[in-house]
Amino acid sequence: MVQPTLTDVPSEVVLEYLLPVLPVKDIAALSGVNRHLHALTSDPTFWRLKTTSDFSFSPSSLPPSPSSSWWTRVYLGLLHPRAFVWGSSDHGRLGGAELGRGVRRFGRFVDSPAEMMIGGSDGRTFPETLRDSLRTVVSGGGGGAMVGSGRDDEGKGTAGVVELQAGGWSFTARCSDGSVWVWGQLDGTIIRFRAPSWEDKNCQCPEPTKIPLPCRAEAISAGRRHLLVLDADNLIWELTAWGKAYHHTAPALTAPSSHGTTRNPPHIAQLSTGWDHSAALASDGSIHVWFPFSQAYEAGLTPDDRLNGPIGVFTDSDGDEDSSRALRWGTVGNDVVVTLPEIPERPVLDTHDDDWTDLGGEVVTGAVKGPKMRKELEDEWKDYESTRTAKDLAEGQKVVRIAGGLEFLIALRKNGEVWHTRVKERHPITWQFLPYFSSPNITHITAQFESITTYATPTAHSSASAVYHSRLPHFSESFGETLQPDLLPALQDKGVIQVALGDYHYAALTSRGEMYTWGQGGSGQLGLGGFGGGRKDEPTRVVFKSEGDDDGQREGEEDFVFAITAGGWHTGALILGDPKRKRPKTTTGRTASTTTTTSTGLNLSYADTGNSGGHSFMPGAFPSGTTERRGGTIPAGSVTLPRGGIRTMPFFRVGFAGRGAAVSGRGRGGAQSQGQAHGHGVVEDGEVAADQW
């Protein structure tokens, strides 16, 4: 009797049930057995699903029609991405990258992309050089404790960063294990270097520090001076200081985890933070808003003497407990949330007084033709409505995206309509249609401070794209009717798939992996060199160079940028790594990863820990567990700072900033976090006003 072999198993079973649970090194070995198994292990759909599963990666941030081997390349690139940051270095927001060798630093800013390396100046890996920056700042000392290889007590690999968001003076990173890490200063209105603990909102963390939340984070949204976290149970946690967390109890925000829209109340689909407000989009399209700095909100918080915790307390080398990085938590009252009224039907545009000065910007192939009249806009909607069923038209009324800035919120309907409302405590909600920022093709919105951008991304059927960007004027009850976008010929029909907004500078990413910046660059935030470069009205491509330019990049192959981010006066980008690039060695002489080339040609770069996720040594990995030192137990992540500073790792959200960090499939909530809806601006209050960010 012939014994069955693996090749007798149906291909669907292998792809859907066997390969997903195998370590990457075993998949590489399996691909070399025969042609049949090689074909299965090279399946692009499998690698696409594995990429989105292991890295919370959004397929929308890559070309719409990649080659058959593209998703394998993406997965390998995400194992070892290259991260760059630049702009203002105040409040520790660059995470130490400004201290790297060869970085052009001018006082308080870096004017060109500075790569965040795996190792410090002594060549150690990131887990070996990461230190507890908060403990050093509090004690005033220069040293921390040494950790080992970045593995926990069971020898398992560490988690990698899958999402990054910029606050007013800080960054927040979410890891694939659900942990949340922060650095910079959550509230920078007052510069304070020696806060007693991070229950003080002005506490500064110059390097990444973990918040020991009592939950697994599935999405984050960083506002100017507050942070929202959506956990695996679909509960919303809010922090106005990194040492205190409160979860909401309002019925509208505490639905059970479910992807359905028939649940009452429905689950939360997206978080959004503006300057002084927070918002949540439910799966049925309803929008809920609250004000975390209002007296009513603060009155509803659990009193300090009744908070749970602390958690995250560790024992130092002298046997004393250190709670400087611990966290206490409580609840938010259930009467602080306001549900916004439904958006009305789209008004019919008045075309009687139509003229050619209404708007600039009809997108055509290779050029910008304009201006477009109201009649043309109205005809677009008539064509859309005439080609849709009644069911499609009804579904098109649902809100699918929200984004917020300084006292405003914009909402995107599924049909491409974009609406604006003022969001201010004790002010009525009045929705205004933005006709010149709306179109049946619009798929994404982003907002920050006083700017908004709506854009249509390319599809598998068309490479055309459109970008509509503008700074908002002073609020009025009718400004939406005449608000016109800026003409940006360099971005129209160029395949723009992501837009990130700073206070006065902006960035765009194309499907070819090219990044463009424009706007104010006095603090180096454009990344174009030239001592900051002043203002650029024309989007200009950012050039990335590795240190020494000897990273093994193949001749003729350009860097592929797949994620961008922008904050107040700072910017960052993440580039797919090259699997053939030589990895830095640790102090023990062992490289962080291994490259396997099978006999049939499948090239896979994998972590040597055997982690089924295959990325236990990916850049941005944080140490886990605890380490013994001199008889005391300390949390992993505390190490000695090397001479010349420390160069940290990328903490960029893997995905699509403009659309809001889709994380469906990563937990039961199916939530999205709003990636660029937070704002930042010049501060005039406080003991020490921050004159530049």
**pLDDT at residue 504 tops 90:** yes
pLDDT computed for residue 279 by the predictor: 98
pLDDT computed for residue 542 by the predictor: 94
pLDDT computed for residue 134 by the predictor: 36
Q: What average pLDDT does the chain have?
A: 74
Percentage of residues in the chain with pLDDT exceeding 90?
35
Q: Specify which of 87-101, 108-122, 346-360 reaches the highest per-range mean pLDDT.
A: 87-101
**pLDDT at residue 583 tops 50:** no
pLDDT computed for residue 63 by the predictor: 59
* Tens digits of residue pLDDT in 584-601: 443 334 444 434 443 334
Of 189-198, 307-316, 355-364, 435-444, give the lowest mean pLDDT range. Answer: 355-364
pLDDT computed for residue 554 by the predictor: 41
Q: Which two tokens stand for residue 285?
A: 């399209």
* Tens digits of residue pLDDT in 366-392: 334 444 688 889 999 999 999 999 999
* Tens digits of residue pLDDT in 128-170: 333 333 333 333 332 222 222 223 333 334 455 677 788 888 8
Q: Would you say residue 597 lies in a domain?
A: no
Exposure class string for 81-114: b at 16+ Cβ within 10 A, else e: bbbbbbbbbbbbbbbbbbbbeebebeebbbbbbb
CB 138 within 8 A of CB 194: yes
pLDDT computed for residue 608 by the predictor: 34
Q: Give CA–CA dist 326/315, Å, rounded.
A: 12
The span from the first CA to the last CA of the chain, in angstroms, equals 74
Mean pLDDT of 88-102: 86
Q: Would you say residue 489 lies in a domain?
A: yes
pLDDT computed for residue 196 by the predictor: 73
Of 48-52, 231-235, 391-395, give the lowest mean pLDDT range. Answer: 48-52
Q: Would you say residue 654 lies in a domain?
A: no
Distance from CA of residue 227 to its chain's centroid? 13
pLDDT computed for residue 266 by the predictor: 64
The count of domains in the chain is 1
Mean pLDDT of 524-546: 87
Q: What is the CATH number of the domain that holds 540?
A: 2.130.10.30
pLDDT-derived band at 71 (thresholds 50, 70, 90) equals confident
Query: What 3-state class would DSSP assign to 137?
Result: helix
**pLDDT at residue 345 tops 90:** yes
DSSP state of 576: P
What dihedral angle (degrees, nearest 10) is formed by the CA atoms of 61, 574, 510, 69? -60
Closest to 343 measured CA to CA, from 409, 398, 424, 404:
398
Q: Would you say residue 328 lies in a domain?
A: no
pLDDT-derived band at 511 (thresholds 50, 70, 90) equals confident
Q: Would you say residue 531 lies in a domain?
A: yes
Q: Would you say residue 520 lies in a domain?
A: yes
Q: Which two tokens stand for residue 164?
A: 């990054």
pLDDT computed for residue 460 by the predictor: 63
Q: Give CA–CA dist 621/641, Å, rounded.
A: 18
* Tens digits of residue pLDDT in 655-682: 333 333 333 333 333 444 444 433 333 3
pLDDT-derived band at 268 (thresholds 50, 70, 90) equals very high
Q: Give CA–CA dist 52/665, Å, rounded.
A: 8
CB 516 within 8 A of CB 490: yes
> What are the residues whose beta carbons fall under 8 Å from the beta carbon of 93, sequence distance 6 or more?
166, 169, 170, 171, 183, 184, 185, 567, 570, 693
**pLDDT at residue 400 tops 80:** yes
**pLDDT at residue 230 tops 60:** yes
Instruction: Please give the sequence-ordered ranges of beta strands (E in DSSP) within 323-482, or none if there are none.
Output: 327-332, 338-339, 362-364, 367-369, 399-404, 408-413, 418-422, 432-433, 444-448, 451-456, 466-471
Q: Would you say residue 527 lies in a domain?
A: yes
Burial class (CB in 10 A: 0-12, 13-18, 19+), 333: middle
* Tens digits of residue pLDDT in 23-69: 888 998 888 888 999 999 999 889 888 887 777 665 655 656 566 77
* Tens digits of residue pLDDT in 596-652: 443 334 444 333 333 333 332 223 333 334 433 333 333 333 333 333 333 333 333
pLDDT-derived band at 555 (thresholds 50, 70, 90) equals very low
**pLDDT at residue 559 tops 90:** no
pLDDT computed for residue 352 by the predictor: 66
Of 205-219, 255-269, 543-557, give the lowest mean pLDDT range. Answer: 543-557
pLDDT computed for residue 557 by the predictor: 53
Of 186-195, 205-214, 253-262, 335-344, give the lowest mean pLDDT range. Answer: 253-262
Mean pLDDT of 417-427: 95
Q: State the residue range of the domain holding 541.
A: 362-548
pLDDT computed for residue 580 by the predictor: 60
Of 58-67, 333-342, 360-369, 503-512, give the lowest mean pLDDT range. Answer: 360-369
pLDDT computed for residue 627 by the predictor: 37
Q: Would you say residue 666 lies in a domain?
A: no
Establish how many alpha carbons lie within 13 A of residue 632's alpha carbon, considering only the half-sphere containing its beta carbon: 18
Full-model pTM: 0.77
